[in-house]
Structure 1
Amino acid sequence: MAGISAYNIAFKGLALGTHEFDFQINKKFFDHFDGGIADDGDIQAKVVLEKQSSLMVLWFHVSGTVKIQCDRCLELYDQPVESENKVFIKYGEDDFEDGDDVIWVNVNDHQVNVAQMIYDFIILAIPIRQVHPKGKDGKSLCNPEMLQKLKNLTHTQEKPEEETDSRWDDLKKLLGNE
């Protein structure tokens, strides 16, 4: 993971106050993470570090596009993503578990790597349902051939009418279900 070292933020020599770091995220970045939803993208990540005497606060602003596969037609498309997150970094001798937004670093550490955090924030910004957006004319930008194949292979099954037990009919009337 030698390429990930570009995402190290050295905080040991920084003065108290805020400091900004900009990172360009592309395919080379995504190659360091296996089996994700996204394998390529063009994203700008801005990290603002506020160094205080007892802790540090990292603000992440991630925006751009990732190439993901459409759930409907299986073609790749550019999905816009945008995310703002905050992470606290505390100093300590032992590892503690404070939650998802707190990281503990040893007092002897001099840098923190933000690559995994940036990757996680990008993945969390991707919607659950991944479908091509609609065009200016309001129609889907999905592959029309695949949509036609799906339409041809879709089987609509009519529901057979269920026989009901006549003993329950009066109860259904009381509940307003009939």
Structure 2
Amino acid sequence: MRDLKEFTIPFVGLKLGKHHFDYKIERKFFEHFEFDEFNSAAINLDVLLDKKTTLMEFTLTYSGSVNVNCDVTNEPFDQKVEGSYHFVVKFGEEYNDENEDLLIISHGSYEVNIQQFVYESIVLNLPARKVHPGIEDGTLKSDILDKLEELSLKSTEEEVNEPKEGPTDPRWDSLKKLLNDK
């Protein structure tokens, strides 16, 4: 996968200290990773780079929303996304990104790409089950919910109309005895 140029930060010309970078993340960013669960995205990302003599500390702070489909009704809604992620970049013999909070780049490097850290921190911060807020407070009106309600009412009416006590098959009676003989 190609690196996105806007997420490559050239650090060789930067002085020691803190540096800020601002990004606007949209759906196109997630399509680059072949992640298609978002209908749209509007996320503001603030990157704080604290450059020191032997390492660099990155703090990613993001907030915004992504439009996703509800896991219950499949209705689209805006899911709030906010969080932060901190990782360290050190210099070593060869590139190593096996540790999630530590990136090792070779001594001759003059830039670092942070796109993978941005992608993972946002996607992993989303809830595993996305439920439309209208379902929780009962304000969502949808055809699917209406149909579910219609079907659930029929099942309760059938239970009411069914006789509670009546002749049963003797085979079931003997099986019920097994449950009660514990």
Q: State TM-score, norm by structure 2.
A: 0.77
AA of the residue aligned to 2:138: K
Alignment CA distance shift 1:11-1:127 (3 Å): same
Question: Which position in structure 1 is the counterpart of 2:26?
Answer: 26
AA of the residue aligned to 2:120: D
Deviation at 1:62, TM superposition (A): 0.9
AA of the residue aligned to 2:145: L
- For structure 1, the 5+ residue unaligned runs are 169-178
AA of the residue aligned to 1:70: C
Deviations 1:115-158 (A, max 9, x none): 221111111121111011139x93243x52111223345678x9
AA of the residue aligned to 1:134: G
Question: Which position in structure 1 is the counterpart of 2:80?
Answer: 80
- For structure 2, the 5+ residue unaligned runs are 160-171
AA of the residue aligned to 2:142: P
Q: Equivalences for 1:9-158 in 2 at 5 Å?
A: 9-96=9-96, 99-134=99-134, 138-141=137-140, 143-153=141-151
Q: Is the 8 A contact 1:66 1:79 kept in 2?
A: yes
Identity %: 33
In 2, the alpha carbon distance for the partners of 1:147 and 1:79 equals 20
* Structure possessing the higher radius of gyration over alpha carbons: 2
AA of the residue aligned to 2:13: G
Indicate the structure with greater helix content.
Answer: 2
In 1, the alpha carbon distance for the partners of 2:32 and 2:106 equals 25
Q: Is the 8 A contact 1:38 1:123 kept in 2?
A: no
* Equivalences, count: 163
Deviation at 1:88, TM superposition (A): 0.6
